[in-house]
Amino acid sequence: METGQFLQYLVSGLTMGSIYALVGLGFTIIFTVTGIINFAQGEFVMLGGMLSYILFTSFGLPSGLAILLSVVAAALVGIMLYLLGIRTARKASAVSLVVITIGASIFIRGVAGQIWTRDPVRPPYFSGSESLSFAGAYIQPQVLWIMGTALVAMIVLHVFFSYTMLGKALKACAISRAAAGLVGIDARAMALIAFALAAALGAIAGSVMAPHTTVSYESGVMLGLKGFVAAAIGGFKSHTLAFFGGLLVGLIESLTVAANWGPFQSEYADAVALIALLIILLIRSRRLSTEERAS
Amino acid sequence: MKAILRNKWSYLAFGALLILLAIVPFTPRLDDYTMLMTFIAINTMVTVGLCLLMGYTGQVSLGQTAFYGIGAYVSAILSKTYGVNPWLAMLIAAAATGVFAYVIGFPIFRLRGNYLAMATLGLVLVVYVLFRELGEYTGGPDGMAGIPYLSIGGLAFKSRLAKYFLVWFFCLAILLVSQNIIRSRTGRALRAIHGSEPAAESVGIDLSRYKIKIFVLSAVYASIAGSLFVHTLRSVNPQPFGFMASVMIVTMAVVGGLASIWGALFGTAVVRILSNEVLLRFGGLDIIIYGVILMIVMILVPQGLFVGLRDTYERWRLKRTRKGAVT
């Protein structure tokens, strides 16, 4: 394979990987603060993409404002999910809470399916569609936007959780909710913030991604799944690892398509990526179980 | 005291179920639901296994539809493509699925909690992709049709009624076997593992042996359900074995209540009836209402409908007997 062609696959892998990373970061935010795996995370991404498209084309808002509004709207949906679904279920076990988020994702997807058509839509590119040429590979400017957003999100989250008071308070809830309560941290308020933050991040991912990949009301399912995998690589706890986990999923997928040999064919891309991840999980399993016992 | 109560309860539940099963196909108007009841039985076989695994042993599995699918496809391919007797095909499918679960059980049960959920979910997706892409054997996305019926001595299970009794025979057998397992030494070991793994280990329970044992059992249940599914429907495609189907199976078990195998049956029936009968009347809104109902049930009765009812009844009884003792 030529270098240019290989680079092309690499770029496309990193692009999809960055999207998965953004979704995975959303999973990680909610899990670290509340211990809940939010199956509706993919729907936030879908909402971000769809809403920014609708606001831009039907309401004629400038693209930046459309994205901002769609992010705010998704954050509100996230807050509603927490207030109506999670907070009201006081006695629910972890599994029941997960089923509540599954119910919420079915609901959001159902409503979206009623309002919008099945056909994928594509909002305009942020900065034109003229490809940049680099060592024989063509790079769309939108791709740089996607990668940049993921990278910035990862760094900002890392700094936020490690160095700011609010971030540390959120992290404290993850370590021990009871102890956090003792030092005056309102765990419920923190959970609310986590849901809003994750939903907003999901919507950002959706609106940055949509011009490149298109979006439909059904997009949330697959994205949620891949993001879940990315977050799982990071143990649902580490933002940095979730980021690299996302990139890894994207790269494995894309390189499988590139190889197109034996079991590594494009039709099997999903399966190859998952098997690779299962192997990673199993190799890490000893460390994972000791970590869990320690915590 | 409690054990006797539970015993009485399960006899009662079993009796009520048998009567209902006998009534439905022979009562006018109710007999329209024979086919629906058949599918409830097929799904219940899968959810009961999940219940043993999640509710009793505390091991999250999102992977039951993989075994369900393997059972279905092995049965279909052997009986249609290779002309194997359907009963034998079903047996081979169950054995193969059991061995498969045993082999992957060792690495997979080194994981726990969310990682276990992730790994079992991965299993479903990999198996689904294989069903879809190995078109040479599986017929690809369109699947296969014309799979032979099961038959005894030249009499095929062809009619709606025959299929109904055949499937429920297997479902009841699985419920009985599971009920006995729960009350056995194994059942107590499983509950101990659920309670606390280190504590169970400290009293000499071999964790991975029991986890794998119950994993294999639940896989065999799912495989039998899959085989029955293809031999009654006579066709198969990858659709019922994907990610969403897997989520649906977990939903059924959780809605009924994971802490009881009767909950698995109850939850499966509720979800099936809701999605196949009631909600269809709302047209495109069905999925929205389904999502809302799912959330409301979990918010109000997080332990599941059946278990919630049972607990409420027991609390009421306890209160009444206490009052009686005082006066």
The residue among A44, A20, A169 whose CA lies nearest residue A109 is: A44
Handedness of CA B97, B98, B102, B105 (dihedral sign): positive
Identify the pLDDT of residue A291: 53
The number of beta carbons lying within 10 Å of the beta carbon of residue A155 is 13
Q: How many CA atoms lie within 13 A of B164 on its CB side?
A: 18
Identify the pLDDT of residue A196: 96
SS (H, E, C) A30-62: HHHHHCCCCCCHHHHHHHHHHHHHHHHHCCCCC
Q: From the centroid of its chain, how far is CA A64? A: 21
Tell me, yes or no, whether B310 lies in a domain. Answer: no
Residues A21, A242 contacting (CB under 8 angstroms): yes
- Cβ separation A285–B130 shorter than 8 A: no
DSSP A125: P
Residue B40 predicted with pLDDT over 70: yes
The two beta strands, B144-145 and A137-139, are: unpaired
For residue A276 the two structure tokens come to 């690779």
Residue A51 predicted with pLDDT over 80: yes
**Which chain A residue's Cα is nearest to B112?**
A289
Mean pLDDT of A145-157: 95
Identify the pLDDT of residue A130: 78
How many residues can be counted in chain B?
Answer: 327
Mutate to test the interface with A, among B61, B115, B301 (most CBs of A within 10 A): B115
Alpha-carbon gap, residue A190 to A76, rounded angstroms: 15
Identify the pLDDT of residue B23: 86
Q: Which spans in B139-276 are helix H? A: 160-183, 185-195, 197-202, 207-233, 243-256, 261-273
Residue A214 predicted with pLDDT over 60: yes
Tell me, yes or no, whether B207 lies in a domain. Answer: yes
Identify the pLDDT of residue A66: 93
Mutate to test the interface with B, among A98, A106, A116 (most CBs of B within 10 A): A106
Identify the pLDDT of residue A263: 67
Residues A249, A230 contacting (CB under 8 angstroms): yes
Residues B275-290 pLDDT 10s: 887 777 777 787 888 8
Chain B residues whose beta carbon lies within 8 Å of the beta carbon of residue A39: 247
For chain A, positions 45-84, list CB contacts with chain B under 8 A.
Answer: 84
Identify the pLDDT of residue A295: 42
Average pLDDT, chain B: 88
Confidence of residue B2 (pLDDT cuts 50, 70, 90): very low
Q: Any chain A CB within 8 A of the CB of B284?
A: yes
Alpha-carbon gap, residue B324 to A223, rounded angstroms: 59
Q: Is the ipTM of this complex over 0.90?
A: no
Mean pLDDT of A22-35: 92
Alpha-carbon gap, residue B46 to B42, rounded angstroms: 7
Mean pLDDT of A139-156: 93
Greater confidence, A206 or A3?
A: A206
- Among the partner-chain residues A106, A267, A278, the one whose CB lies closest to the CB of B291 is A106
- State which fold the A3-294 domain adopts: ABC transporter involved in vitamin B12 uptake, BtuC (1.10.3470)
The number of beta carbons lying within 10 Å of the beta carbon of residue B34 is 17
Residues A221-252 pLDDT 10s: 889 888 988 888 877 888 899 999 999 999 98
Alpha-carbon gap, residue B228 to B65, rounded angstroms: 14
Locate the domains of chain A by residue range: 3-294
Q: How many CA atoms lie within 13 A of B292 on its CB side?
A: 8
Identify the pLDDT of residue A290: 55
Mean pLDDT of B62-70: 93
The number of beta carbons lying within 10 Å of the beta carbon of residue B8 is 10
Chain A residues whose beta carbon lies within 8 Å of the beta carbon of residue B113: 292
- Cβ separation B284–A105 shorter than 8 A: no
For chain B, positions 98-137, list CB contacts with chain A under 8 A.
Answer: 107, 110-115, 117-119, 121-123, 125-126, 129-130, 132-133
Tell me, yes or no, whether B273 lies in a domain. Answer: no
> A288 vs chain B: nearest CA distance in angstroms?
8
Q: How many domains does chain B have?
A: 1
**Which chain A residue's Cα is nearest to B250?**
A99
The number of beta carbons lying within 10 Å of the beta carbon of residue A295 is 9
- Cβ separation A271–B126 shorter than 8 A: yes
Percent of chain A with pLDDT over 90: 43
Q: Note the pTM of the prediction, 2 decimals.
A: 0.85
User: Most confidently modeled of B72-76, B124-128, B237-241?
Assistant: B72-76
Tell me, yes or no, whether B204 lies in a domain. Answer: yes
Greater confidence, B243 or B86?
A: B86
Greater confidence, A74 or B6?
A: A74
Confidence of residue B71 (pLDDT cuts 50, 70, 90): very high
> B151 vs chain A: nearest CA distance in angstroms?
37
Q: Any chain A CB within 8 A of the CB of B175?
A: no
Q: Any chain B CB within 8 A of the CB of A286?
A: yes
Q: Which range, of B223-227, B230-234, B299-303, averages the lowest pLDDT?
A: B299-303
Q: What residues make up the domain containing B123?
A: 33-242
Cα first-last separation, chain A: 47
Tell me, yes or no, whether B70 lies in a domain. Answer: yes
Confidence of residue A132 (pLDDT cuts 50, 70, 90): confident
**Which chain A residue's Cα is nearest to B128?**
A271
Confidence of residue A74 (pLDDT cuts 50, 70, 90): very high
Average pLDDT, chain A: 87
Mean pLDDT of B207-220: 93
Alpha-carbon gap, residue B312 to B315, rounded angstroms: 5
Mutate to test the interface with A, among B288, B289, B290, B293 (most CBs of A within 10 A): B288
Tell me, yes or no, whether B167 lies in a domain. Answer: yes
Residue A288 predicted with pLDDT over 80: no
Residues B127-164 pLDDT 10s: 998 998 888 888 888 889 989 999 887 788 888 889 99
The two beta strands, B155-156 and B151-152, are: antiparallel
Q: Any chain A CB within 8 A of the CB of B3?
A: no
Alpha-carbon gap, residue B304 to B259, rounded angstroms: 8
Greater confidence, A265 or B156?
A: B156
How many residues can be counted in chain A?
Answer: 295
Residue A85 predicted with pLDDT over 80: yes
Chain A residues whose beta carbon lies within 8 Å of the beta carbon of residue B293: 103
Confidence of residue A2 (pLDDT cuts 50, 70, 90): confident
Amino acid at the residue B213: K
The number of beta carbons lying within 10 Å of the beta carbon of residue A283 is 10
How many CB pairs (< 8 A) connect A and B? 126
Confidence of residue A278 (pLDDT cuts 50, 70, 90): confident
Greater confidence, A161 or A270?
A: A161
For chain B, positions 131-170, list CB contacts with chain A under 8 A.
Answer: 132-133
Q: Any chain A CB within 8 A of the CB of B211?
A: no
Kindly provide the b/e burial profile for residues A171-194, where b requires at least 16 CB atoms within 10 angstroms of the residue's own CB. bbbbeebeebeeeebebbebbbbb
